[in-house]
Amino acid sequence: MRIGIFDSGLGGLIIAKAIRKAMPEYDYVYLGDTKRVPYGNRSHNAVFEFTKEAVDFLFKKENCAIVIVACNTASARALRRVQTEYLVYYNKTRRLMGDHERKILGVLIPAAEEAARFRRVGILGTSGTVSSGTFLKEIKKLNRKAKIFQNSAPMLVPLAEEGERSMAVPFLKKYLRPILNKNIEALVLGCTHYPFFKKEIGKILGKKIKVISQDEIVPIKLKDYFSSHPEIEKKLSKKGTAKILVTDITKNVQVLSKKWFGKQKPELVNI
């Protein structure tokens, strides 16, 4: 059985690459909904339906034992509902058939746990993630005294999908300015696309502000999860394979999938 990784587009490939680098022995399948990216301006119901469809596909068609929802908008707006409505019913059906239960994890909670270590935290995310208030709620659960300042950055996802770093700099400065005015100690990159601009963001922030990037946190947390849930880890096949599935193949998808997922060119399939 495989590890499935789902994102609204290609940003999750940055997470997938980091996870695979940390745990190369497992078999991976990545699903990017490139036909409907971005999710940030979608309704809650739409994001829920898209996420449920993706997870269901990865479970049933790709034999995944666990799916990482590597999309902060989906993690913020749909993950809990997918877990409590779809997954509960799915696992109940699997048990009746004598099959293995599946698991779904997100990327938002690990970042929130890291952010809760600081007193003044900035969140840069999509409109959907920011408006959901999920980062704020999760950080406050762990640190009531934390002061959290959010701003949405709607242009960054399409710029990342196009591989445009230099064009993003004016937008980054614009989006970060109101957060920097709050004297933050740490900044959460609240979208899996944003690590693509990590170097540019670091230059704007300076050395005193900690950048919390999910590609650095999620692999560690997933390793810990497997250590505490050996029943899941034992189901995973270990041939070191990887493939990328997308809902729409474009030239840009071909270039970025190769660039972001590592030197070994993975199989790229349109579904």
Supply the pLDDT for residue 235: 94
Active site residue 71: yes
Fold of 109-214: Rossmann fold (3.40.50)
- Is residue 126 within 8 Å of 72, Cβ to Cβ? yes
**pLDDT tens-digit map of 111-142:** 999 999 999 999 999 998 999 999 999 999 99
Considering only the top CATH level, what class is 2-106+216-270? alpha beta
Q: Which of 63, 67, 150, 125 is nearest to 99 (CA)?
A: 63
Categorise residue 149: left if φ over 0, alpha if ψ from -120 to 50, beta otherwise.
beta
Active site residue 64: no
Kindly state the average pLDDT of the residues 38-58: 93
* Residue tagged active-site, from 191, 217, 218, 245: 191
Euclidean distance between CA atoms 63 and 56, whole angstroms: 10
Sequence ranges of the chain with CATH classification 3.40.50.1860: 2-106+216-270, 109-214
Supply the pLDDT for residue 230: 94
Supply the pLDDT for residue 263: 62
Q: Which of 111, 110, 64, 117 is nearest to 87 (CA)?
A: 64
Stated as kind and residue range, the H or E segment containing 115 is helix 108-115
* Residue tagged active-site, from 54, 71, 172, 176: 71
Kindly state the average pLDDT of the residues 95-103: 79
